[in-house]
Structure 1
């Protein structure tokens, strides 16, 4: 029996390891032995209960379905699927780092603007505009005298 996965019935935390292997197998449409095999290969690494039993999260089940899709529909072998998953994880980590650095940069720019504004507010009109004056530059170049004999 292939149970249809209803995300509305999922726990609020997509990473919460809540589903035992039999339920995860039903939700993903795979055999429990296939899930064990994927765990051994490192394709999907479920959490563990205190007794050592596998516990799958909503994210794990989505990943199991993606592994099945890549294997059956796209014809990708398991080694290729593992590499795809690794690369997707790297991309996700890089996106998170970009977001973090972008937020840090924005905060730094805001702090610099506030510091500059504070400095400008501290001026007591000590800096006054000066009338523009003629600022011609004259270069003096004395004639060289011929050496004395």
Structure 2
């Protein structure tokens, strides 16, 4: 659901009868899907199946696929490919963020090099130059 974080989507909430009604399926169908590894509901302390919103969404997708004539082996394959694609998308997002961080660091370093090239300093003593790069506080040591 939009606006909910991943933790909310995975929180076990619905007993099997409610989950079955939300998905338009028979509770026994949900049990079969669990047995075949298509869905893995949480359990209460009393060992009652509890389905999350993510489980409901997954069951709805399974229902759509089977309604289109795809057998359970095909559903397993599709769900696996979908999960892998989502993992890859998340990885790509992380890598893009890291690339942006590195681009910012490179930009900062290039800026410092330009400042170094333009800043006057005496002889080979770069300490005054580093003071310029560090900012006004390091120059106030007099």
Are residue 15 (structure 1) and residue 10 (structure 2) matched?
Answer: yes
Residue 52 (str. 1) matches residue 47 (str. 2): yes
Per mean C-alpha deviation after superposition, the further-off stretch among 48-57 and 89-98 is 48-57
User: Structure 1 residues 36 and 116 mapped into 2: Cα distance closer, same or farther (>3 Å)?
Assistant: same
Which residue of 1 is the match for residue 31 of structure 2? 36
Q: Deviations over 1:28-84 (max 9, x none)?
A: 111111101101111111122233221111111111111111112x10000110110
The Cα shift of 1:125 comes to: 4.7
Q: Which has the higher helix share?
A: 2
Alignment of 1:104-119 (within 5 A): 104-119=98-113
Q: TM-score, normalised by structure 2?
A: 0.75
Which residue does 1:24 correspond to in 2? 19
- Tell me which of 87, 94, 100 is aligned to 2:88: 94
When the two structures are superposed, what TM-score results if normalisation uses the length of structure 1?
Answer: 0.71
Q: C-alpha displacement at 1:98, in angstroms?
A: 0.4
Cα distance in 2 between the residues matched to 1:92 and 1:70: 18
Aligned residues: 117
What's the C-alpha RMSD, in Å, of the aligned pairs?
2.0
**Structure 1: gaps of 5 or more residues:** 1-6, 127-149
Structure 1 runs (4+) deviating above 6 angstroms are: none
Aligned equivalent of 1:79, options 70, 73, 80? 73
Say whether 1:70 aligns with 2:65.
Answer: yes
Larger Rg: 1
Partner of 1:139: none
Give unpaired runs (5+ residues) of structure 2.
Answer: 122-142
